Amino acid sequence: MNPLSQQLKPGLSRRGFLGEAALASAAAFASVTVPGMRTANADPATIRVTDGGPGSAGAIWRPLIDSGAYPLPKDLKIEWVNGTPGQVQLQLATGAANVAVFGALGVAELQPRGSDIVIFGPALNNHGRWIVRDNSNIRSVKDLPGKTIASLNEASDTFRQARLAALQHGIDLKKDSRLVFGAPTANVALFERGDVDVVITIEPTATRLVARGAREIARTGDLWRDATGDNTPLFLVGLAAHRQWAEQNRTTTAALANVLVDIHRKIRAKPQILSELHKEFGIPDSERAAIELLPKRLVDVYGVDWGKPVFNNIERQIDEAVKAGILAKRPDKTIYDASINVTTG
């Protein structure tokens, strides 16, 4: 039995989060089949999907779907591909996965190189947090010139958006600061040893640091809003696939997008589930302070909208990135599929 199913089994029969989710999702997807696949008596078609990866906000997707609480259409089966923050995009680009999460700037940067990827549904809003030690004299991004900063790898959407937001506030992280790129766990080790002054990291790593006494001086999404006046949550990554594959599997992409939005909608309705899933995030029982902070700090990370405000946000990101010199040009093709019907109500 799946460990998460076993752990939460008592709640499945009555008021538990997963129990309610299973009832709602089963009704929503009972009649969905994927065209061009096989009959009910045949084996389900398998698609390769990257999981959120350890230590990421998306780490809960795989266990929640595998628990059976969010059933996929009967003709569809997921084969999970282990992912890590900043690497899942490479897995999609190289064909190791059919579906992965990808950000607007990453897709736009790759398109002129011949990679035709399209985003077909929401995943995560930006959750880049700029963290310093509690005794640091750094109070804002204005204090960053000359400092050493650790971040996810340079090709990650987290860093691209952090760099763009800093540029909008007059700071060029590449020119004004010393940068160290690495995985979240490696960056935290550097930070806690005092080898770097600032770490730009993601959730739930940032929450764990704050719970241990570190101080948050900025959020990339807030910097973006303050610079642009755009109050739509800064779109970080969405479900993405190669355009040809997505066009040939439209019912599949719609089903996946709706399953993910269903999960996110339930989380927003009951944020406490994030604390209950702390082990899925890699947070041990002993970190009580971090566990208690999860509902407040992560609930808005999970995207539920797929419509004009999100599309405008994506287009604005591209425009601002071209203006800042992060992108050489706008992509020739639209990088998102606005026709996918994602039920957000």
The class that CATH gives domain 3-126+235-324 is: alpha beta
Beta bridge partners of 76: 45
Domain edges within the chain: 3-126+235-324, 129-228
Determine the average pLDDT of the residues in 272-281.
96
Give the pLDDT confidence score for residue 9 in this predicted structure: 38
In one-letter notation, the amino acid at residue 42 is A
- What percentage of the chain exceeds 70 in pLDDT? 86
Find out whether 88 and 53 touch, Cβ atoms under 8 Å: yes
Of residues 237, 37, 234, the one with CA closest to residue 120: 237
Give the pLDDT confidence score for residue 106 in this predicted structure: 94
Find out whether 220 and 161 touch, Cβ atoms under 8 Å: yes
- pLDDT at residue 110 greater than cutoff 90: yes
- What percentage of the chain exceeds 90 in pLDDT? 74
- pLDDT at residue 2 greater than cutoff 60: no
Give the pLDDT confidence score for residue 45 in this predicted structure: 74
Give the pLDDT confidence score for residue 8 in this predicted structure: 43
DSSP labels for 265-307?
A: HHHHH-TTHHHHTTTTTT--TT-HHHHHHHHHHHGGGB----S
Of 76 and 278, which is predicted with more confidence?
A: 278
In one-letter notation, the amino acid at residue 340 is I
Determine the average pLDDT of the residues in 92-103.
91
Q: Tens digit of pLDDT for each residue in 165-200?
A: 999 999 999 999 999 999 889 999 999 999 999 999
- pLDDT at residue 51 greater than cutoff 50: yes
The answer to whether the 3-126+235-324 and 129-228 domains have the same CATH topology is yes
Please tell me the CATH superfamily of domain 129-228, with its number.
Periplasmic binding protein-like II (3.40.190.10)
pLDDT tier, 43 (very low <50, low <70, confident <90, very high otherwise): low
Give the pLDDT confidence score for residue 37 in this predicted structure: 41
Determine the average pLDDT of the residues in 1-23.
40
d(CA 209, CA 219): 14
- pLDDT at residue 39 greater than cutoff 70: no
Query: What is the average pLDDT value for the chain, to the nearest integer?
Result: 87
Determine the average pLDDT of the residues in 276-286.
96
pTM of the model: 0.87
Least confident of 18-32, 91-105, 260-274: 18-32
Q: Tens digit of pLDDT for each residue in 118-163?
A: 999 999 999 999 999 999 999 999 999 999 999 998 989 999 999 9
332 by Cβ neighbours in 10 Å (0-12 / 13-18 / 19+) ranks as: exposed
Determine the average pLDDT of the residues in 23-51.
53
Torsional sign, CA 300, 48, 310, 29 = negative
Determine the average pLDDT of the residues in 288-317.
98
Which distant-in-sequence residues (6+ apart) come within 8 Å of 325 by Cβ? none
Centroid of chain to Cα 239 = 9
Determine the average pLDDT of the residues in 94-99.
91
